[in-house]
Amino acid sequence: MTMRRRNSRSLAITLVIFAFLTGANRTVKAAFHLWNVKEVFSNADGSVQFVEMFDNSAGETSVSGFTLRSNSDGVIKEFTFPSSLVNSTPGHTLIATSGFGSLTGGVTPTFTFNQSSTALTLPFFNPNATNITFTFTGSNDTMTLTGAALPKDGIRSLTDANASGTPNLTSNNSSGVNSPTNLLGASGGINLSSGDYNGNHTVDAPDYDIWRKTPANFGTSAAGYAAWRSHFGNPAGSGSLFDGTVPEPTTAILQLAGLLAMMWRVRKRTAAGGFVK
């Protein structure tokens, strides 16, 4: 074998090894580095929470060992992914509190927070913190928000519009009806509202008016009405006063009108020096 042939063979082997290592390195980099933190939800006490991540690239499955980190005014919690993803073309990964899939409008999460491979004390983040930051260590993507901006009405969530491609450290958050989506593409929308849609701490007729004009703002139309109907007449967050017998919207409004008319008559009689029998 001539010197020239030996050199050519050595060069070919070197090129093959280089191509293999370069390809392998590209594959490793593509396994986890494009995930974005996209949507965040919590009710007021943090007992129901979810964080949804998004990645529109194929092969981004090797998340095992990486962490999703929350920082609530300096209090750090970490969910460490216990395994990689089984879907070869991921789009959404949903991490939620236990029992989330059994809620009306809920979907089975990809992971639950208690599946973290490291100890994790819940809630995952403090919804009432002044500042909250979420970071995925595989891509270093972050989503930042304030507790004041985070909806806690049991219906809406915050979604980062910049979480659509390459990880972006600048958040562009907007509030809307929650839409949790898991790895299999199943999507839902939960409604934990007490029915107090105008924020006056009482579930009353004006709340029905608000729901009727903008039902899409309160989960699905049926869920928004059901929340109002089942809590009508109560302080926000309390149980039903009607023991399961809840008035229809028209009946409820007529009842309120009758009550107001009765109160007016009582005040008129009292002012005239009469008394009520």
Expressed as residue numbers, the domain containing 263 is 205-271
Lowest mean pLDDT among 128-132, 162-166, 173-177, 192-196: 192-196
Q: Is residue 131 part of a domain?
A: yes
pLDDT of residue 264: 54
Instruction: Say if residue 221 is in the same domain as residue 91.
Output: no
Instruction: Say if residue 93 is in the same domain as residue 20.
Output: no
Per the structure, the count of domains in the chain is 3
Instruction: Say if residue 121 is in the same domain as residue 167.
Output: yes
66-101 confidence digits (pLDDT tens): 999 999 999 999 999 999 998 777 799 999 999 999
pLDDT of residue 163: 95
* pTM strictly above 0.95: no
Lowest mean pLDDT among 81-90, 140-149, 196-205: 196-205
Q: Is the pLDDT of residue 272 over 60?
A: no
Q: Is residue 183 part of a domain?
A: no
pLDDT band of 210, cuts 50, 70, 90: confident
Instruction: Say if residue 50 is in the same domain as residue 161.
Output: yes
Q: Is residue 191 part of a domain?
A: no
Return the higher-pLDDT residue of 190 and 267. Answer: 190
Instruction: Say if residue 15 is in the same domain as residue 43.
Output: no
Per-residue pLDDT, averaged over 219-241, amounts to 69
User: CATH number for the domain including 137?
Assistant: 2.60.40
Instruction: Say if residue 13 is in the same domain as residue 112.
Output: no
Instruction: Say if residue 96 is in the same domain as residue 219.
Output: no
Instruction: Say if residue 77 is in the same domain as residue 19.
Output: no
Per-residue pLDDT, averaged over 196-215, amounts to 81
pLDDT of residue 182: 96
Instruction: Say if residue 168 is in the same domain as residue 246.
Output: no
Beta strands at 92-96 and 111-112: parallel, antiparallel or unpaired: parallel
Token pair of 54, please?
Answer: 């998004």
40-62 confidence digits (pLDDT tens): 999 999 999 999 999 988 889 99
pLDDT band of 240, cuts 50, 70, 90: very low
Instruction: Say if residue 92 is in the same domain as residue 166.
Output: yes
pLDDT of residue 268: 53
pLDDT band of 22, cuts 50, 70, 90: very low
pLDDT band of 208, cuts 50, 70, 90: confident
pLDDT of residue 21: 41
Instruction: Say if residue 85 is in the same domain as residue 108.
Output: yes
pLDDT of residue 253: 53
